Structure 1
Amino acid sequence: MKFYEVLVGGDEGPQRRLRVASPTDVQAADAAATLMRTHEAILSIRQSPDDGLQRADAPPPRTQAEEASEATPGMAAKT
């Protein structure tokens, strides 16, 4: 798991930095989306070095198998 810093905000509004744990930068955007407010957009995503003290603002994003298991219980385990 890697740590990412996601900068969110609006064109004219304030910007916020969110820290998330994720295997990829694309999934980091998914994790940050759970913390975003109305009219905020992702402005940048960059990987942060893991110094052993990193804390995430959001849980890691769910995998596709975890998301599919709600719709089709048991199918995710068969793949």
Structure 2
Amino acid sequence: MTMKFYQIDLEQGGVTRTVRVPSETDVQAADAAAPLMKAGERIVAIRQVVDDGLQKADALPPVSQAESFAEITPGAAAKGPPPTS
């Protein structure tokens, strides 16, 4: 998939603010915006914006589900420590 840029509108008590995040999908864009949210804020809009090459992001792209579980997956567990002689 291709990295895109999204504008996320966050609202709390009638006050809205906007953050920009890079992401491959709009669902992952919400994940990328989560660390930027203040207590009590909610996402009210997610819009993809045109990448003009000058985009500034407020957060890093979210990690994929596979990346987040890499340390605990059976494949990683099966490797275990290197054998000793």
Shorter-chain TM-score: which interval? 0.7 to 0.9
Amino acid at match of 1:47: Q
1-structure distance, mates of 2:49, 2:76: 36
Unaligned runs of 5+ in 2: 78-85
**Cα deviation 1:13-68 (Å, max 9, x = unaligned):** 42110000000000000000010000000000000000000011000000011111
Amino acid at match of 2:8: V
Taking the TM superposition and a 5 Å limit, the aligned residue runs for 1:1-79 are 1-10=3-12, 12-72=13-73, 74=76
Could you say what the CA RMSD is over the residues aligned between the two structures, in angstroms? Answer: 1.4
TM-score with structure 1 length normalisation?
0.86
3-state DSSP of counterpart to 1:55: coil
Amino acid at match of 2:59: A
The 4+ residue runs of structure 1 with deviation greater than 6 A are none
TM-score with structure 2 length normalisation?
0.80
1-structure distance, mates of 2:35, 2:50: 23
Q: How many residues align?
A: 74
